[in-house]
Amino acid sequence: MPRTLLVGVRILDPGGAAVAGPAAVEIDGDAVTWVGPAAAAAARAPGAQVLDLDGTTLTPTFVDAHVHATSSGLLIDGLDLGGSRSAEDCLDAVAGFARTHPDGVIWGHGWAQDDWVDPTPPGRAALDRATGGRPAYLTRVDVHSALVSSALVDRARDAVGAAGWSAAGPLTAEAHHLVRRAALGAVTRDQRDRAQRAFLGAAARAGVGTVHECAGPLVSGREDLAALLVLDTGVDVVGYWGEAVDTARDARALLAATGARGLAGDLFVDGSIGSRTAALRTPYTDAPEHCGRTYLTPEAVTAHLVACSTAGVQAGFHVIGDAAADIVFDALAAAARAVPVEMVRDARHRLEHLEMPDAARLGLLAELGVVASVQPAFDAAWGGPAGLYSARLGAERAARMNPFAAFAAAGVTLAFGSDSPVTPLDPWGGVRAAVDHGTPGYGVDPATALAAHVTGGHHAARSTDPLAGRIIAGAPAGYAVWDGDPLAGAATCLRTVVRGRLLHDAHGHGRGPGGLAAAGG
């Protein structure tokens, strides 16, 4: 791109830098070269492309610290079951999709039976009729259980009888992981490429310049991650691989084999609240016979942390329930005793979701430099006295979920993400959800929330650039332009640039409502 002047913007910089009144920013190549008042921009205009951006807001591009690109992309033009209000609605949507998409696996997402009049999900025989006998994989909104057709089970016979198996209803736990692997195996290379490109394009249009792909053998596959990491769309992809190791040698070898940044992300200690697979200290309120599930032993969690810390590799886990959090906190303390504590800190380990931590132990995370990779939109979707958390856990436990303010007060670095497709790519929605928490006193201020969705994400990926995610001279040229005041409500992303490369321009060079106007120079 030519040297560019962005004039008339309001700058929101996560580091707190501010310009009184309308500002201007100069971009030359892949770097920010000047920031100052709009009135001083004229002196720098000769030879530059000047964009008149009066009334807009300028931010760094966001970081979404937890995504699943292929499954998200498959749903951009796919089967959205979020509007289903009954088993019949769900089956009608599947049948309609099957008629208009006659080939390939039927991949759908978003059903949640909790607010249905009859909360019974569709049975397998009914799903087989709706699909016409084709393979179908339909994830619940939390992606920790799924409705599947008999034709898909035929491709994953090892799921029959596995933990979480049901002969007619949704599959959870190991049975779900096995059928998910079969469903992904049914996706062709062309389908995968289209899905990944569609997802990264959607990220750019949402002002997201960096995504952290949380891959693993139970989530996607090595081939899927490898294909994503070589795509050149302009959006930066940081790959994580969720597979446990026992030795430092194994950690280094697995990192090299996958091309991942770390052995973290969706390495499951437990499941989810919605599917009742998150591991709890005491039973679910609406299922008193269940305390959820754990997928890794305490010994395995500790061994993984020790191996990765010794190898200088970033480790991390998916952890939601309080019992699962206890396992991880104990393992972190054990790892800090087993190896020099500096090794643990330097690795910058990360925990995904961490919705039910013991607040008294958050200081341990700060002491060991552990990042909390969290999803504020979860609270917006399922928090509050009438939400899913309250139904599953009771009002008292639900009110203590997602304590963002406590993390910040303890000095824990927060990194915000969406867990797309669980919640949408909507960084400003995440910021507002973190500010307007359903439990009074649990939210954070707007500046903290913005930093968590930008600089916190760079920190979570072990960035060593102190200027990453900033709008100051010398910083990388990654920015998004927003129509109006995004903190006040819905905001349209007008322009996205990553490393000086234009990825999204809503209006080209013409001025539309809130659009961009190019001036000569």
To the nearest whole number, what is the mean pLDDT of the chain?
Answer: 94
Q: Any idea which residue has 């910058």 for tokens?
A: 348
Angle at 116 between CA 113 and CA 118, to 5 degrees: 100
Question: What is the predicted pLDDT for the residue at 511?
Answer: 31
Question: What is the predicted pLDDT for the residue at 517?
Answer: 44
Q: Any idea which residue has 């008999």 for tokens?
A: 150
The span from the CA of 305 to the CA of 24, in Å, is 46
What is the residue type of 231?
L
Question: What is the predicted pLDDT for the residue at 407?
Answer: 98
pLDDT in tens, 102-145: 888 899 999 999 889 999 999 999 999 999 999 999 999 999 99
pTM metric for this prediction: 0.92
Name every residue whose Cβ is closer than 8 Å to that of residue 68 and which is 6 or more positions away in sequence.
Answer: 143, 213, 214, 215, 219, 220, 419, 420, 421
Question: What is the predicted pLDDT for the residue at 77?
Answer: 80
Question: What is the predicted pLDDT for the residue at 103?
Answer: 84
Name every residue whose Cβ is closer than 8 Å to that of residue 353 and which is 6 or more positions away in sequence.
Answer: 318, 319, 320, 373, 374, 375, 378, 419
Question: What is the predicted pLDDT for the residue at 246?
Answer: 97
The span from the CA of 205 to the CA of 482, in Å, is 11
Which stretches of the chain drop beneath a pLDDT of 50? 509-521
pLDDT in tens, 77-103: 889 999 999 999 999 999 999 999 988
The span from the CA of 109 to the CA of 136, in Å, is 11
